[in-house]
Amino acid sequence: MAEKLVVSVTDFGAVANSDAVQTEAFQKALDHCFLAGGGEVEVPTGAYIVGDIRLRSNTTLHLLENAVLKGSKNPKDYRNILQDKLEPLPTKQATDAHWYGPFEWIKMGGGFKVHLYTAGSYWNYGIIRAVFAENIALIGEKGSLIDGNNVFDTEGEENYRGPHTINMHFCKNIKLYGYTVKDSSNWAHAIFQSEKIHFENLTVLAGHDALHTRACSDVKIYNCKLITGDDCIAGFDNINVHVKCCEISSACSAFRYGGYNILVEDCHVYGPCQYQFRGSFTHEEKISGVYVSSSENARNNMLSLFTNFVSSDLPVRHAPGKIVFRNCRVENADRFLHLNLSGNEAWQVGNPPKDITFENIKAENISMGVYCYGDSTLPITLNFKNIEYSVREGSEEEPIFKVAHFDNINFHNVKISNYKGNALIKTWSDGGNVNVNNLDCEIKDGELIVRATEKFTCNAI
């Protein structure tokens, strides 16, 4: 067997701790390995300023101990992929389309969101890129770091976000191990329409979404520490996902996720987050790249444990369902479950999951409980088994479950403390079964379920 090719970025001219952008040297090293049939590029100790670097098939970027990649503050340094002559993007992917918000999209008549789903779009720029690549890896040793540098860009999402840290499209066999990402200017990991993705021993601090997979299959997320001002694990239409032994703290939703066959187990999820949501910063603070806001509107509360994410952006490959949370501890979430197909949320337009199960969960100090407004044609089943749940002070009088269009709600060994309301469940639809096997909850008037008379309301998150 031939010995694996291993080179150093310094062999191709990279200089550590320089104020000059080192993208060209990194790309030369990676391309050398690619053209040789595959190999590994090592990054020695030191800090390297870079724009966008493209991983190609059968290549690994290996950050050695205390190696730091620091994103350039100049947004123009991230457009090299459009000039790539070695593997030019297909015409349909080389769009350079900019971000536009949901209202602009509606005005344009809806349709395919070019800025999201084409690899060459301006919105998809990032520090580490990969497109139509197989067998790729980004590996970090102790102390390795990718610093997104909170880049401000008036042409970016919401007119302030800069590049993603890792951005990949249409890839297969992706290994992401060992490094830390901090201050990602947009999502720390933005991976689209890819398969066989393995995240392990990663740390993501501050910034925006930590791990965002969209229309991906066979995703493993193990032993990761995700503490972000935005969603921690996000995306929709994901199939066969396993999240295990992770520490998760968010100033938005711990999970804003959707798909089929999703198992989350042995995780600790908690709020409030030590980092604030950057969308709540002032315009001046976003420009300056500060890490802490002085604005009275800045917040770091965790909005929900699980926000269902469903969208009509892409055709769904498998009907959503078989979503299980098991053996987890949850602290200080505003909502335990947030599923709202009543029509006022841009990212909840489509089919609900067939079923969601929560098993062996200890949930402490939860404020607004469970919102689950489903679809009348596809009623959902909710399973709660071996649950310890405590209500936050100030929320004791409100029904914990606010639901519509459900098939079954099953309680098995559920203990709810600090609840002082008249009914546990309020429903906005007729029909559906509530099945109880050992429910320990004091209800003031003894009613398990009541029919709502007022219009359903639920704030979008």
Position 6: which residue type?
V
Distance between CA 68 and CA 100 in Å, rounded?
32
By three-state DSSP, how is residue 323 classified? strand
- 261-292 tens-digit pLDDT: 999 999 999 999 999 999 899 989 888 888 88
Query: What is the per-residue pLDDT across 359-416, written as a single tens digit (0 to 9) for each?
Result: 999 999 999 999 999 999 999 999 999 999 999 999 999 999 999 999 999 999 999 9
Angle 444-448-449 from CA coordinates, rounded to 5°: 120
Give the end-to-end CA distance of the chain in Å, rounded to a whole number.
54
Whole-number Å distance between alpha carbons of 46 and 407: 57
Q: What is the radius of gyration, based on Cα positions, of the chain?
A: 23
Are 63 and 41 a contacting pair, CB within 8 Å? no
| pLDDT at position 293 | 85
Predicted local confidence at residue 344, as pLDDT: 87
**List of the chain residues with pLDDT < 50:** 106-109
Give DSSP secondary structure letters for 336-356: EEEEE-SS--TTB-SPPPSEE
AA letter at 304: S
The CA distances from residue 177 to 197, 224, 410, in Å, are 11, 9, 39
How crowded is residue 369: how many other Cβ atoms within 10 Å of its Cβ? Answer: 26
pTM exceeding 0.85: yes
- In degrees, to the nearest 5, what angle opens at C-alpha 73 toward C-alphas 70 and 74? 125
Calpha distance 116→316 (Å, rounded) = 16
Cα dihedral sign, 111-116-119-122: positive
The one-letter amino acid at 149: N
Residue-level pLDDT at 171: 98
Residues 6+ apart with CB under 8 A from 221: 199, 200, 211, 233, 241, 242, 243, 244, 246
Q: What's the pLDDT score for residue 108?
A: 45
Identify the pLDDT of residue 104. 54
User: Distance (Å, rounded) from C-alpha 434 to C-alpha 448?
Assistant: 9
Separation between Cα atoms, residue 274 and residue 266, nearest integer Å: 22
Residue 126's pLDDT is 97
Match 């089929």 to its residue by tokens.
260
pLDDT at 112: 63
Q: In whole angstroms, what is the distance from residue 329 CA to residue 452 CA?
A: 31
Residue 105 backbone phi and psi in degrees, to 5 = -60, -45
Integer angstrom CA distances of residue 252 from 244, 245, 247, 274, 280 = 20, 20, 15, 12, 11
Spatial separation of the C-alpha atoms in residues 380 and 372, rounded to whole Å = 9
